[in-house]
Amino acid sequence: MLYNINPLLSPDLLHILRSMGHGDQIVIVDANFPADSHAQRLVRLDGANATQALEAIVSVLPLDTYVEAPVHTMQVVGDPQAVPEIVAEFYQIASNGPGGEVPHQSIERFAFYEQVKNAYAVVVTNETRLYGNVILTKGVIG
Amino acid sequence: MLYNINPLLSPDLLHILRSMGHGDQIVIVDANFPADSHAQRLVRLDGANATQALEAIVSVLPLDTYVEAPVHTMQVVGDPQAVPEIVAEFYQIASNGPGGEVPHQSIERFAFYEQVKNAYAVVVTNETRLYGNVILTKGVIG
Amino acid sequence: MLYNINPLLSPDLLHILRSMGHGDQIVIVDANFPADSHAQRLVRLDGANATQALEAIVSVLPLDTYVEAPVHTMQVVGDPQAVPEIVAEFYQIASNGPGGEVPHQSIERFAFYEQVKNAYAVVVTNETRLYGNVILTKGVIG
Amino acid sequence: MLYNINPLLSPDLLHILRSMGHGDQIVIVDANFPADSHAQRLVRLDGANATQALEAIVSVLPLDTYVEAPVHTMQVVGDPQAVPEIVAEFYQIASNGPGGEVPHQSIERFAFYEQVKNAYAVVVTNETRLYGNVILTKGVIG
Amino acid sequence: MLYNINPLLSPDLLHILRSMGHGDQIVIVDANFPADSHAQRLVRLDGANATQALEAIVSVLPLDTYVEAPVHTMQVVGDPQAVPEIVAEFYQIASNGPGGEVPHQSIERFAFYEQVKNAYAVVVTNETRLYGNVILTKGVIG
Amino acid sequence: MLYNINPLLSPDLLHILRSMGHGDQIVIVDANFPADSHAQRLVRLDGANATQALEAIVSVLPLDTYVEAPVHTMQVVGDPQAVPEIVAEFYQIASNGPGGEVPHQSIERFAFYEQVKNAYAVVVTNETRLYGNVILTKGVIG
Amino acid sequence: MLYNINPLLSPDLLHILRSMGHGDQIVIVDANFPADSHAQRLVRLDGANATQALEAIVSVLPLDTYVEAPVHTMQVVGDPQAVPEIVAEFYQIASNGPGGEVPHQSIERFAFYEQVKNAYAVVVTNETRLYGNVILTKGVIG
Amino acid sequence: MLYNINPLLSPDLLHILRSMGHGDQIVIVDANFPADSHAQRLVRLDGANATQALEAIVSVLPLDTYVEAPVHTMQVVGDPQAVPEIVAEFYQIASNGPGGEVPHQSIERFAFYEQVKNAYAVVVTNETRLYGNVILTKGVIG
Amino acid sequence: MLYNINPLLSPDLLHILRSMGHGDQIVIVDANFPADSHAQRLVRLDGANATQALEAIVSVLPLDTYVEAPVHTMQVVGDPQAVPEIVAEFYQIASNGPGGEVPHQSIERFAFYEQVKNAYAVVVTNETRLYGNVILTKGVIG
Amino acid sequence: MLYNINPLLSPDLLHILRSMGHGDQIVIVDANFPADSHAQRLVRLDGANATQALEAIVSVLPLDTYVEAPVHTMQVVGDPQAVPEIVAEFYQIASNGPGGEVPHQSIERFAFYEQVKNAYAVVVTNETRLYGNVILTKGVIG
């Protein structure tokens, strides 16, 4: 436990967030995501759901303001305009960080999978709600 | 996620529980416990508290019926007879496993620390209640 | 030994099954299969045959209901419609898991080999019956 | 699979048996034995019981003829003269190897544990019969 | 760079501070200290001096309120009552953390070296002022 | 030393032969062969020549009966029909194994080198006779 | 601390600079640069800024006189002729080394990123000024 | 120190020379060569120059008599026919080995760099003369 | 293969002999010796017997002239004055090295085992003659 | 090669010298010293003799002025007052460093060996003169 640091930010997760730089991506995935086979670096948060993990991460992680959107979610298959409840929660939490409101974007499922493979790290949660996956792009602090 | 297996039992935790044998001990510790400096093997469950971790573990782990008590908690310093609420919960949960009711014992603080150093593994939780640490001794299945 | 967990699920095998996600594949192979040269991760079950291994695995592994068939076997060379006895057993055991009946598919021998190379893990058994190999695709638990 | 070699002798087990020399000990233990915390080297044979493992090992391993007894079993607690059925089977199988009949000895439980800690290797089986553990001392071939 | 986290807290240093528990010690040492030969874990901060390092660390690290003093400095050889300027600065900075004022203690030089060997980690700085070494004992957050 | 196992089958060589499966290849090479730069796995038998090594290996290794020839030797450069004396010995020894007579084939020098790169393992001997290299393809035991 | 060696040259940084040869490149990057995901070898100098790091490095590193320019900086996006203040400082410091004045060159942002990926090593600083990144090409000492 | 073995042949260098086979190449490079970034295996001889290293190596290494030339040097840029004094020394020393006179060849600078990347090993010396680099191709001993 | 180096001196064995210094010991053991459990470093020469190994080693290894005897053999149990034929061969071969005649000594069996545990390295041969073990102490070359 | 750094200071040697602190010791040993079996960290300088190595090291290493003597040599056995020529050279070179003249001390042979075992690192040279070994204790730079 450390002062001013959300307890979900474990030693490995803090190490990863601090090592990332401008443009590097971190992904929060649900309990059924094939995380181990897609991740370059993996952190498990088996006792937390995806929105708790997101809240912890955005409390310290600056989001990128140089790209169209630093928050990517997965489009509902067959209904790309739909916004599942958990995705709406993701958008709200992401804009609650110290950096304030940020734009978001949903991307097609297989494009999402490709981004995960190239992401800096993946955080596995016990989330079971559908579409409970979100990609964050790190920004800068000046 | 697997059928019939509590989602808090992560890959590493399952591996440890399955590798343990008769008499090996596993310890669930709170968020302030010096776990890394005392553990021979360490698993983090940053999103769960100690009672959730205990519930998950006793759902699969047989407790030792050949010893006086397979459940050890830490005595309250200065009041060895006291039973803090979380310790009472530990006793109840430990007896809810498939093996049924088991005896428990509280041990002096430094004896507790010594057992942790010799234990097979330590599970770190985000527990913040005082005395939120418990040692389990594995039993046999025949 | 753990409660409610088939003893053939060794520490390494449990770790692998729990780490896999939706769409990841695990393969059970016979005693003559070139497992080590084809597997990304390898677990040996030298004392069990392929049907025992399958029974143990499907007791905890959800099979994928989003694909045409989560169970792939190898077609008999020269007689793709044939169903060897062990393959019939595979189909029956795979449908005995907690998820109930699942569709299956036989695939051509070299396509089978390619899937093994890309699979998450391979389990080696002491099976000596011909065509004693089966690929399982993990599904989701919600 | 190799000619003339029992299929339970896995790659790791063959490596260990061939690396051992005169006086080195290998232990076959049951499914509840605390093998990982006591073994210097560990091989798992999750699908085989202790007598199958013993039969496989003595098919290649010479037993020591320079010591009082190259086969050690664990004395029944409280009845050191008792010979449980599985122990009787151990004695018979151990004398069925290419080296012929060998003497055996039962030793006190804690002395047995000490020998396991100093043994060259431990083989874990799925044996569930009580007293299903046996220590073998390697001999010479001239 | 992360929000609300001092930039001197590098990935490795954050990992260490977060992994420590109640009673674990971290030591900040000067540029001439034999750190590598005394440390169980080592982090280098070659661009910072000891007071900058201390300021960064106490911004997140709770100090132990259950011991006589969670801040230990090295006594001036031959003048144990002396308080070098840098030591005075250490005392002030240590009491500027979120936990407020904390007691301190100076200990004899060789006792200091012994504590370093047992400490959880050592942070090397470019400090060149004499007696520029300080030991911190982690406390709890509840 | 083990009963019924040729003493040239060292711990590493036994491990490799037992780990290979149907279709995997092992190569025995002479003392001048660039083994380390071509081998995926390497075993040294510095005290044995190539025919001794072959005799040891075929005493346990089944050769593939599903391919044109499980024994490949290197064609004499400029005289592809020639059969050097050591190659003739290879053919005879290979047919002396428990599986009986097997067909053989000589292949062009650079094709031979390519097969070595893809082979499961290479065994280095002290052979100094020209063309003292031979590739074996593992078969099945049913 | 060593005689005549800038204290910012840590053990790892000295090792890297001494291991580099003619034409190898080292990059100094700012605190927001995605260093870990782009670097083949990484050294952190968390307490120093980019100009301090440059000054330390050019005190020992010969710069390449066989190329057009051994010092590369990143062009201002949208204004390739601009020379930010920190870049001007880089140019001055780079020419203050024992080798004297050296030519420099600014390169387009994405070409800069590509060079970083191929560079021998990357040094992370706490620099927060924009365009605080510089690539150095090692020369020869005869 | 060993009888009949040049003291410059260190443990690692002897290991490499003995592991190489027919056609494998070893390169001796000067003090400014980018050795670490080009070598598959690296040995440092910081106290010897290139001609001393060559003399030590050819005292045990057979050179290839099946290729046009087992000794490659780098052509002088702009004057491919030139033979720098050190290159002339290389040619003489290479022909002083137990195998007697061998042909040599100079190759274009970038072709030389490519050969280094593919070579079995690189030996770094403290040579400072220009063109002080030489590639040797191992031959056979029959 | 290298000029003037006995082919039994494999890469690892050469590395060990060259790394040893004055007073370090190397042991040649027979095929039944418990080498792996007693050796700090192990080299296998599965195709050579103990006298061949000794001949190869003394061709390069200086023996210690500052001790009573640099060659130790094991006393025959029950007949300490006996000199088995292989021991006589050891004495003759050891005196055939470049350093000429050396004194020898036989030591009691358990003292021999203790020396093996402290020796720098052990060489395993396929020797099957009784008392086929010998310890060599390295000397100096000046 | 780096500016102002003796070329004998290889990457590993620089790393060690820079990592050492006040009171840590480094030892330069001759070609026959049992370095590998006595050293905690080992650097080889196979082409340099002991006085060259010493000259390179004291060009950067401060020697300890808080101890009786930061330079220890080995006493001549049987003549503790003797000062061999190489030892006299050691004393002169050690006083030629940037720190100026330093006291020296000769210590008994076995005490010397004990210090080597506890030293931070050992540097192996090709020195063949008797008593060509010297221990240096690092001092401080303020």
Q: In this predicted model, what pLDDT tens digit does every residue of J49-78 receive, in sequence order? A: 999 999 999 999 999 999 999 999 999 989
Backbone torsions φ then ψ of G27, nearest 5 degrees: -120, 135
The C-alpha of H10 sits at a distance from chain I's nearest C-alpha, in angstroms, of 7
Residues in C closer than 8 angstroms to D13, CB to CB, are: 46
pLDDT per residue as tens digits for the range J85-133? 999 999 999 999 999 999 999 999 999 999 999 999 999 999 999 999 9
Residues in H closer than 8 angstroms to G22, CB to CB, are: 32-34
* Amino acid letter for position D114: E
Q: Determine E/H contact with 3+ CB pairs under 8 A as the test.
A: no
Give DSSP secondary structure letters for chain G.
Answer: --TTS-TTS-HHHHHHHHH--TT-EEEEE-TTS-HHHH-SSEEE-TTS-HHHHHHHHHTTPPBPSSSS-SEEEEPPTT-TT---HHHHHHHHHHTTSTT----EEEE-HHHHHHHHHHSSEEEE----STT--EEEEB----
pLDDT per residue as tens digits for the range E83-139? 999 999 999 999 999 999 999 999 999 999 999 999 999 999 999 999 999 999 999
Q: Does B28 touch chain A (CB under 8 A)?
A: no
Scanning every residue of chain A, which has its alpha carbon at the shortest distance from the alpha carbon of E21?
Answer: A1
Out of D21, D141, D142, closest to residue I35 by CB: D21
pLDDT band at C103 (very low <50, low <70, confident <90, very high): very high
The C-alpha of F16 sits at a distance from chain D's nearest C-alpha, in angstroms, of 7
Q: Does G43 touch chain J (CB under 8 A)?
A: no
Per-residue model confidence (pLDDT) at position C142:
81
Q: Are strands D25-29 and D134-137 parallel, antiparallel or unpaired?
A: antiparallel
Q: Determine whether the interchain pair I32/D24 forms a contact, defined as Cβ–Cβ distance below 8 Å.
A: no
Scanning every residue of chain B, which has its alpha carbon at the shortest distance from the alpha carbon of D31?
Answer: B21
Question: G62: closest CA among G11, G21, G107?
Answer: G21
pLDDT per residue as tens digits for the range C47-59? 999 999 999 999 9
Q: Determine whether the interchain pair B52/A52 forms a contact, defined as Cβ–Cβ distance below 8 Å.
A: no
**Strand runs labelled E in chain I:** 25-29, 42-45, 71-74, 104-107, 121-125, 134-137
Q: Does C3 touch chain B (CB under 8 A)?
A: yes
Quick one: what percent of chain I has pLDDT higher than 90? 99
pLDDT per residue as tens digits for the range D8-20? 999 999 999 999 9
The stretch I74-93 carries a mean pLDDT of 96
Q: Does B22 touch chain D (CB under 8 A)?
A: yes
Return the structure tokens found at F29.
């090479």
The C-alpha of H105 sits at a distance from chain I's nearest C-alpha, in angstroms, of 23
The stretch E5-16 carries a mean pLDDT of 98
* Amino acid letter for position F11: P
The stretch C6-10 carries a mean pLDDT of 98
Scanning every residue of chain G, which has its alpha carbon at the shortest distance from the alpha carbon of J10?
Answer: G18
Q: How far apart are CA E38 and CA D57, in angstroms?
A: 47
Crossing angle of helices B11-19 and B50-58, rounded to 10°: 50
Q: How far apart are CA D6 and CA J79, in angstroms?
A: 67
At G43 the three-state DSSP class reads strand
For testing the chain E interface, which of B27, B30, B32, B124 should be mutated: the one with the most E CBs within 10 Å? B32
Q: Determine whether the interchain pair H7/J45 forms a contact, defined as Cβ–Cβ distance below 8 Å.
A: no
Q: Which region, left, alpha or beta, applies to residue E2 given φ > 0 means left and ψ of -120 to 50 means alpha?
A: beta
Scanning every residue of chain I, which has its alpha carbon at the shortest distance from the alpha carbon of D41?
Answer: I37
Per-residue model confidence (pLDDT) at position G142:
81
Residues in E closer than 8 angstroms to A140, CB to CB, are: 1
Q: How far apart are CA F89 and CA J75, in angstroms?
A: 64
Crossing angle of helices G11-19 and G50-58, rounded to 10°: 50
Residue E79 pairs with which residues in a beta bridge?
A: E76
- Please check whether residue I10 is in contact with residue F43, taking contact to mean a CB–CB distance below 8 angstroms: no
Q: How far apart are CA D5 and CA E14, in angstroms?
A: 53
Q: How far apart are CA A109 and CA A106, in angstroms?
A: 9
Q: Are strands E71-74 and E134-137 parallel, antiparallel or unpaired?
A: antiparallel
The C-alpha of H135 sits at a distance from chain I's nearest C-alpha, in angstroms, of 17
Out of J1, J12, J60, closest to residue G5 by CB: J60
Scanning every residue of chain H, which has its alpha carbon at the shortest distance from the alpha carbon of G41?
Answer: H37
The C-alpha of G19 sits at a distance from chain H's nearest C-alpha, in angstroms, of 6
Mean per-residue pLDDT of chain E: 97
Which distant-in-sequence residues (6+ apart) come within 8 Å of I40 by Cβ? Answer: I117, I118, I119, I120, I121, I122
The C-alpha of F84 sits at a distance from chain H's nearest C-alpha, in angstroms, of 16
Q: Does I18 touch chain H (CB under 8 A)?
A: yes
* Amino acid letter for position C2: L
Active-site residue set of J? 22
Q: Does I34 touch chain D (CB under 8 A)?
A: yes
- The full set of domains in chain I, from first to last, is 22-137 (3.40.1650.10)
Q: Does B93 touch chain C (CB under 8 A)?
A: no
Active-site residue set of H? 22
**pLDDT surpasses 90 at F32:** yes
Q: How far apart are CA F57 and CA F28, in angstroms?
A: 10
Q: Does I67 touch chain F (CB under 8 A)?
A: no
pLDDT per residue as tens digits for the range A96-120? 999 999 999 999 999 999 999 999 9
Scanning every residue of chain G, which has its alpha carbon at the shortest distance from the alpha carbon of E48?
Answer: G47
How much is the ipTM here?
Answer: 0.96
Q: How far apart are CA E59 and CA I101, in angstroms?
A: 72
CB pairs under 8 A between E and J: 28
Burial of J34 (0-12, 13-18, 19+ CB in 10 A): buried
